Structure 1
Amino acid sequence: MERRDLLKAGAFAPLVSALSVAAAANRRPGIEGQRQPDLGNGRFLNPVLSGDHPDPAVLKDGDDYYLTFSSFDAYPGLTIWHSRDLVNWQPRNAALQRNIGSVWAVSLEKHQGRYFLYIPVKAQPKNEIYVIWADHIDGPWSDPVPLGLHNHIDPCHAVAEDGSRWLFLSGGDRVRLSEDGLSVAGPVEHVYDPWRYPDTWDVEGFSPEGPKIHRHGGWFYMITAVGGTAGPPTGHMVIAARSRSLHGPWEQHPGNPLVRTQSAGEAWWSRGHASLVEAPDGSWWSLYHGYEAGFWTLGRQCLLDPIEWTADGWFRMTGGDLSRPIRKPRGGQALPHGMALSDDFSAPLALGSKWTFFRPAADEAGRIRLADGALHLAGKGLAPSSGSPLLLTAGDRSYQFECDVELAPGATAGLVLFYDDKLYCGLGFDAQRFVTHQYGIERARPVNPHGRRMKLRVTSREHIVAFHTSGDGGQTWRRFDRGMEVSGYHHNVRGGFLALRPGLYAAGPGECRFRDFRYRALGA
């Protein structure tokens, strides 16, 4: 019985809702490799950015909207996305070029004509919050400046009614900033006790985080995430409070929580970490993240939810579980959405906007050379675990990718589905043998009949993975005798808040050549 038939029979009812299946079936094809949210009939279907795009930080800048996400161990990091209608988004440049640690939820702001990114980092020997700035959204961005904040995450820049600048932090705390925003100007203080859910709810933990401050109609609104960002599908949620002054006191929203997944039967799980933004037509919307039901492996995806301001000066979110098409905000301009994930390596490598390294060294980009229609990638380490593989973000439940791979003498190379250095799978080869990657280790090594050059193909159909090889340039394909199931390659198993990402690696001496990388989404 096929998976779709099992779904109809109810065997996977806790995992994927019928609403989610119906919505996916109605999705309009978009740019190859990028799910298209715009349905072309005045409506859109979530997610607006598929795949791993967690902790959205949005900035309205005149007629333009800019958006970035937690990039964790992927570098170049903090890719800036651009839109003019809140539905269709294009990647621009990555703001963070140097590896400073695992980048969590940031604050993207513009103040007195200058752009700022406040960046919390998990790193050894201690955590830190940095700030970088630029006079243009595309950079160049400054070198990161540490603020000396080691005990908090998720900063949010806010300007008070008296013009003072502040960073609101996890746990209901805040700290004053200097006038230029590049240092702190006082001690951390506790200013807000977040609303608490009933203790009968299934959550991961209280974890008040991700504060976002918005000013509207004479009020400051603070939106906070509680309940934990993963764990049970019903855990993560959105709450709000308001005050006439940024200095408090803060009044809890009588309708808390404003967003929460009610059951595992919904299309989107663990919804939270919200920001508010005004659309071109004056309507208001919220961007937040959620896991697609049954697909933790794709990471937290970016969702767009309409809100309504109410007569008492509060607001409510109106999108429900977001499994159905929603009317688009009017006005603005629909830019081409997303980007193709295939790459023939004939143009400069899109580092940051498409390809990223996992935990790169300072000189990692020096491993790349484009010549003769190929990506020449210098080997590093002995396996993907030690080799900083080159990865991209996929947003499809089912997809296939392939590449022509030619080895340097003594090298090993291949294709991977990579969560982190302790959890990945894939297929590589040296001149004599294949190497099977599974569970983050290297396992079987059967004989390689193709020698130093072959085409490799990875197919992932709703977590069922198959490998194929070709020694004649793709004229004929041979199925490799090891299949895998990867539904457990995700945060609730491994931690880290990451996603399972396709990519390629080269290990050992010399430069391996990668030609004609092709990615395509597969239908249900």
Structure 2
Amino acid sequence: MEISRRDAFGLALAGTAALATEPAAAVPPGSGALPAAAWRRGFDNQRVPDLGDGRFLNPLLSGDHPDPAILKDGADYYMTFSSFDSYPGLTLWHSRDLVNWQPRKAALTKNIGSVWAVSLAKHDGRYFLYIPVKATPNTIFVIHADHIDGPWSDPIDLHLPAHIDPCHAVAEDGSRWLFLSGGDRIRLAPDGLSTLGAVEHVYDPWHYPAEWDVESFSPEGPKIAHHGDYWYLITAVGGTAGPPTGHMVIAARSRSLHGPWEHCPHNPIVRTTSTDERWWSRGHASLIEAPDGSWWSIYHGYENGFWTLGRQALLDPVAWTADGWFRMTGGDLSRPLAKPRGGAAVPHGQPLSDAFTRLDLGSRWNFFRPGPHETDRLRVEQGALVLRASGTAPVDSPPLLLTAGDQAYAFECDVEIAPGATAGLVLFYDDRLYAGLGFDERRFVTHQYGMERGRPSNPHGRRMRIRITNTRHIVAIHTSHDAGRSWQRFDRGMEVSGYHHNVRGGFLMLRPGLYAAGQGEARFRDFRFRAL
């Protein structure tokens, strides 16, 4: 049956406005969840961490922001994350208070493979990104720039096929090093653009009790910090995903970057111990000093029940102990915490809605696993994103994707196709696991489980408006023939809680997106996003 526009996107706006102002509802004990009203709301009603009263509530950056790499550069902080198969990749985020973050530009435009946990550094006035990739063969690249916004150099291959998760560090004698997975390291040339000598093993990580439920030992994500008389080596063990109690943070210290390293007596410093907790698989931590001189840790974790959102960035206060070690003091991060003082706040996040007045690649949109000339498919004209069709479906036609970090949201867009084209909206995990709705001139194309599940008749022709609503994994699709004044519910509902890493692998998240396949091109206008 037909439903009005108010029962569609407009009703979502009214409902979410109420959520943002009403008191937080009670949460069932042990659920690990918080009500939507627990967060303040920002662009497009997206949740933001800063509560506006001197406190913040995790996540620091919602949605898939895994393996945080952070740099303190005077009064500025810059951070980036594993971008895997998304390009432009390695979007750089900027903050001045550690709580509010804005995206700037993407540092990596050339597809060099699946980008894993990187290291962001500044040395002698130059910025460096050390980038491990899963490719053929695996390796670690470096790119550099004289300004954080680039231009960044072309990738330089360091020929390190056996390691991941590099961390740049400068020793007390001025030598430069990359610490690597497995407790290894290798020396860098003075310019940081090549290696010297062979990989050496310098550290045997602490091992958890054998009866703990973990994914694997997997010592990875080394991070180096210097405080007082010691160098601190922070490592992730227990596996990145798998059991929620697996991933954890351990530490060691030494009076020299060259070792020897002693285990922290309090290991593990962070670990999810129960599936009742709000954040699962917490790990891959860095230490950073705030504007007020306090210390903090940034790491990632999965939100209880929402593997589909990927690993989200979390902020945890750090306390130094009298014996020269440190503790994380934020508990399970389920409650608001006092913000660090100082630093001017930037507006947090960015709008995901897009009027397509310009092409916003890298900070807002990116392609999944693009070919060398994928961006040639795109142009913006007269308020429309024009996407040239390729392939047959999202399986072989790279879609344009957003990172949406709320548990519930709706997105809609006007879609017009040329003869021979098929286009639509998707919820996309990877090229083998996605859901959504497309259409050609005569029929709809229903996408579910990464397959075509039906092609009912299309009554709207070559132009329609499509809306997808994802309400905590329950998906509803609507179409409109009159620019959203009235809506028809599409006769296929979906449940997508299984569209995640522990089912499919890949360490990704379920993301909203647009695609165009077949022949010709598609025009997308007036893209609207709203968190619910």
TM-score by length of 1: 0.96
Q: Return the letter of the residue paired with 2:495.
A: E
TM-superposed deviation, 1:8:
7.9
Q: Which residue of 2 aligns with 1:340?
A: 351
Check whether the contact 1:34–1:50 (CA below 8 A) recurs between aligned residues: no
Aligned runs of 1:437-452 on 2, under 5 Å? 437-452=447-462
Compared with structure 1, are the counterparts of its residues 252 and 132 closer, same or farther at alpha carbon in structure 2 (3 Å cutoff)? same
Task: Supply the distance in 1 between the matched residues of 2:39 and 2:501 (Cα, whole angstroms).
Answer: 27
Asked whether 1:115 is paired with 2:127, we answer: yes
Q: Which residue of 2 aligns with 1:354?
A: 364
Aligned runs of 1:29-108 on 2, under 5 Å? 29-32=41-44, 34-108=46-120
Check whether the contact 1:33–1:342 (CA below 8 A) recurs between aligned residues: no
Asked whether 1:430 is paired with 2:430, we answer: no
3-state DSSP class of the match of 1:187?
strand
Check whether the contact 1:33–1:340 (CA below 8 A) recurs between aligned residues: no
TM-superposed deviation, 1:514:
0.2
Equivalent residue for 2:376, pick from 346, 350, 366: 366
Please tell me the root mean square deviation across aligned C-alpha atoms, in Å. 1.1
Q: Return the letter of the residue paired with 1:206.
A: F
TM-superposed deviation, 1:443:
1.6
Task: Supply the distance in 2 between the matched residues of 1:172 and 1:206 (Cα, whole angstroms).
Answer: 12
Q: Return the letter of the residue paired with 2:344.
A: Q
Aligned runs of 1:300-319 on 2, under 5 Å? 300-319=311-330
Task: Supply the distance in 2 between the matched residues of 1:398 and 1:159 (Cα, whole angstroms).
Answer: 44
TM-superposed deviation, 1:31:
1.5
Q: Which residue of 2 aligns with 1:410?
A: 420
Task: Supply the distance in 2 between the matched residues of 1:397 and 1:374 (Cα, whole angstroms).
Answer: 28
- Encode CA deviations 1:352-401: one digit per residue, 9 max, x unaligned: 10100000011111111111210110001000110000000000000000
Check whether the contact 1:107–1:155 (CA below 8 A) recurs between aligned residues: yes
Q: Return the letter of the residue paired with 1:488.
A: G
Aligned runs of 1:478-497 on 2, under 5 Å? 478-497=488-507
Asked whether 1:138 is paired with 2:149, we answer: yes
The runs of 4+ residues in structure 1 deviating greater than 6 Å are: 7-10
Q: Which residue of 1 aligns with 2:521?
A: 511
Q: Which residue of 1 aligns with 2:487?
A: 477
3-state DSSP class of the match of 1:477?
strand
3-state DSSP class of the match of 2:308?
helix
Asked whether 1:163 is paired with 2:190, we answer: no
Q: Which residue of 2 aligns with 1:21?
A: 34
TM-superposed deviation, 1:34:
3.3
- Encode CA deviations 1:385-431: one digit per residue, 9 max, x unaligned: 10000000000000000000000111000000000001000000001
Task: Supply the distance in 2 between the matched residues of 1:106 and 1:88 (Cα, whole angstroms).
Answer: 22
Q: Return the letter of the residue paired with 1:420.
A: D
Equivalent residue for 2:212, pick from 179, 201, 208: 201
Task: Supply the distance in 1 between the matched residues of 2:157 and 2:391 (Cα, whole angstroms).
Answer: 31
Q: Which residue of 1 aligns with 2:16?
A: none
Check whether the contact 1:34–1:339 (CA below 8 A) recurs between aligned residues: no
Check whether the contact 1:418–1:500 (CA below 8 A) recurs between aligned residues: yes
Q: Return the letter of the residue paired with 1:275.
A: S
- Encode CA deviations 1:440-481: one digit per residue, 9 max, x unaligned: 111200000000000000000000001000011111100000
Task: Supply the distance in 2 between the matched residues of 1:284 and 1:448 (Cα, whole angstroms).
Answer: 58
Check whether the contact 2:46–2:530 (CA below 8 A) recurs between aligned residues: no
TM-score by length of 2: 0.94
Task: Supply the distance in 2 between the matched residues of 1:179 and 1:235 (Cα, whole angstroms).
Answer: 38
Q: Return the letter of the residue paired with 2:121.
A: E
Q: Which residue of 1 aligns with 2:395?
A: 385
Check whether the contact 2:143–2:153 (CA below 8 A) recurs between aligned residues: yes
Check whether the contact 2:27–2:34 (CA below 8 A) recurs between aligned residues: no
Task: Supply the distance in 2 between the matched residues of 1:53 and 1:441 (Cα, whole angstroms).
Answer: 28
- Encode CA deviations 1:105-140: one digit per residue, 9 max, x unaligned: 00000001000000000012x101000000000000
Q: Return the letter of the residue paired with 2:55.
A: R
Q: Which residue of 2 aligns with 1:324?
A: 335
Q: Return the letter of the residue paired with 1:277.
A: I
Q: Return the letter of the residue paired with 2:34.
A: V
Asked whether 1:269 is paired with 2:280, we answer: yes
Asked whether 1:184 is paired with 2:195, we answer: yes
TM-superposed deviation, 1:25:
2.7
Q: Which residue of 2 aligns with 1:466?
A: 476
Check whether the contact 1:344–1:373 (CA below 8 A) recurs between aligned residues: yes
Compared with structure 1, are the counterparts of its residues 350 and 9 closer, same or farther at alpha carbon in structure 2 (3 Å cutoff)? closer
% identical aligned pairs: 75
Q: Which residue of 2 aligns with 1:521?
A: 531
Check whether the contact 1:423–1:440 (CA below 8 A) recurs between aligned residues: yes
Compared with structure 1, are the counterparts of its residues 203 and 31 closer, same or farther at alpha carbon in structure 2 (3 Å cutoff)? same
**Bigger shift: residues 33-42 or 293-302:** 33-42
Q: Return the letter of the residue paired with 2:359.
A: L
Check whether the contact 2:93–2:101 (CA below 8 A) recurs between aligned residues: yes
Check whether the contact 2:44–2:351 (CA below 8 A) recurs between aligned residues: yes
Check whether the contact 1:129–1:149 (CA below 8 A) recurs between aligned residues: yes
3-state DSSP class of the match of 2:225?
strand
3-state DSSP class of the match of 1:275?
strand
